[in-house]
Structure 1
Amino acid sequence: MSGAHPADPIADAFEAHRGRLTAVAYRVLGSHADADDAVQETWLRLSRQDADTIDNLGGWLTTVVGRISLDLLRSGRTRPTVALDDHLPEPTVTLNDESNPEDLVALGDSVGLALLTVLDALRPDERLAFVLHDVFAVPHGEIAGILGKSTDATKMLTSRARRKVQRARQSAGDRQQQREVVGAFLDAAREGRFERLLEVLHPEVEFTVHTPSGRFVTIGATEVAGRARMAGGAAHGHPATVNGRPGVIAWNKDGTPLSVLAFTVAAGRITEITAVVDPARLALMGLPDPA
């Protein structure tokens, strides 16, 4: 927020809601930059509004940021995806608690972070309705006002969006099986078991590595298996979830990030591996500290 006086009560009230507004906008838009733009525009509209005419500031702000986000989605200006390769500074990376990994998955879904990879299946109005209602518990009546629809029509929209998300989740495959496949790959990489690596890699697996010198791609199970240690110690890293995909984070001895790997698993085999070993890129990713 720019130009606001620290003692301005309206500015203070807005700041109290900023975190939630940013969370709403990010989960709708899938981009930190677009979410910041939406929140900034919300502030500008509030600054031009007579505050005395607003009965419920939180509801008013949610409505405004929702409408702005919807307009951005409909305009096509934003790209609501979080592919690791396309948005390297913005991935969602969380450490897996090995004692209770299912709780981590449930938490990721409930706050809408892992869902960013499947929300592309929704139309803009479905996406907004689903995020506001199922993630942030905004009543259907309020969402209806944002969308310009009746409450009943909005309920139907949310229900349809929920079914689409459920289908997208199911098509992504079983997460536990995916983690087991990735675990088998990492074990084989640590032990140097070439044949075992070939068993868990798809014949046309694609391995993309982002290094300080650029982006390098290796295709084919034999080639990828032969370079499985290319991430420099990642096989000894900590299990993580990277944009909803199974992954691994490794750190240097001084606690700085060494590498991030993200895996795509289909039909029990790894089809894609993305590795980031460029310190400059890693520094921008906001990675968690070593466990």
Structure 2
Amino acid sequence: MPEPRPAEPVAQAFEDQRGRLHAVAHRMLGSHADAEDVVQEAWLRLARQDTAAIDNLGGWLTTVVSRLSLDVLRSRKTHPQASYDDQLPELVVTLGIDPAPAPEETAALADSVGAALLVVLESLGPNERLAFVLHDLFAVPFDEIGRILGKSTDAAKMMASRARRKVQSAERPEETGPEQRAVVRAFLAASRSGNFDDLLRVLDPEVRLSVDTGGEPVVVLGATKVAANARFGAGGATIGRPALVDGRLGLVAWGADGRVMSVLAFTVTGDRITGIDVVSDPVRLARLDLPAPPLP
């Protein structure tokens, strides 16, 4: 038999809530695909309910989405290998960040920093993550959070407080001001020209290069080795464009066939680059909704 469908006014009310429900699930799970699955399951559960008995549809749906997300998080803790690929942070890439960003680029940076928060949230336990996300990001009262968790209101407050301290103590996103941009531009110019000495001038002696190719990450340590890799790898890309990558200064590189070859994100401390993260995994790159490469 086909699934029952809620009456049209309830279906419209669900659609009005869909964006917020997806945002809750995404902050909980760090994956748009998982969030969409949770929201769809909430819709199916709503279809089986007597909606006349639901006093607060928004609260009911928030509870269902939260509990479903909690189940997914707990499953990941028990079977981490089963969802490893889904837990990889989804890149947020904003192209064309200029030295003096416009207001819309500042908004894009805020979105990227929001994505970076997901990485911090991964370090929290499922209950802490739910308490923090629902209260601090979506203003759900602690008594409701306690009911979702099966805990007291005071216990929910304590969980959110612990999570908040962990988030606040986590490393802040890198600055993206003119000085940091100049360092990145100097690195890119030296990479294109193959000037080894210029590369060494902008790389911290203990710089760390990490490359995600889809398997085990490749890690290169030290300015000399990183400079050599940068110099010899510069010829692969035909077009590069500056970008923000998860709130950090970065670059998107396209190949001659028009496909994205790699996405780079730089960590800049003072006047030196201390970290470079490269994603060249075709699966992760395919998830990016990037336009065709600009004309050279």
CA RMSD in angstroms comes to 4.0
Do the aligned residues in 1 keep the contact of 2:237 with 2:253 (CA within 8 Å)? yes
Corresponding residue number in structure 1 for 2:220: 219
Taking only the aligned residue pairs, the percentage that are identical comes to: 51
Structure 1: 5+ residue runs without aligned partners? none
Corresponding residue number in structure 2 for 1:123: 125
Code of the aligned partner of 2:200 = L
Corresponding residue number in structure 1 for 2:23: 23
Q: Secondary structure at the match of 1:270?
A: strand
Code of the aligned partner of 2:120 = V
Per the alignment, do residues 107 and 31 of structure 1 end up closer, same or farther by CA in structure 2, a change over 3 Å counting?
closer
Q: 1:283 aligns with which of 275, 283, 286?
A: 286
Do the aligned residues in 2 keep the contact of 1:95 with 1:240 (CA within 8 Å)? yes
Matched, 1:146 2:148: yes
Matches within 5 A, 1:1-291: 8-75=8-75, 76=77, 87=88, 90-95=90-95, 97-98=97-98, 99-100=100-101, 104-109=108-113, 112-170=114-172, 181-199=183-201, 200-203=203-206, 205-208=208-211, 210=213, 217=218, 219-220=220-221, 221-228=223-230, 230=233, 232-233=236-237, 236-242=240-246, 244-251=247-254, 257-264=260-267, 268-276=272-280, 278=282, 282-287=285-290
Do the aligned residues in 2 keep the contact of 1:121 with 1:165 (CA within 8 Å)? no
Per the alignment, do residues 128 and 183 of structure 1 end up closer, same or farther by CA in structure 2, a change over 3 Å counting?
farther
Do the aligned residues in 2 keep the contact of 1:83 with 1:117 (CA within 8 Å)? no
Structure 2: 5+ residue runs without aligned partners? none
Per the alignment, do residues 149 and 107 of structure 1 end up closer, same or farther by CA in structure 2, a change over 3 Å counting?
same
| TM-score calculated relative to the size of structure 1 | 0.75
Instruction: Measure the CA separation in 2 of the matches of 1:77 and 1:55.
Output: 35
Code of the aligned partner of 2:126 = P
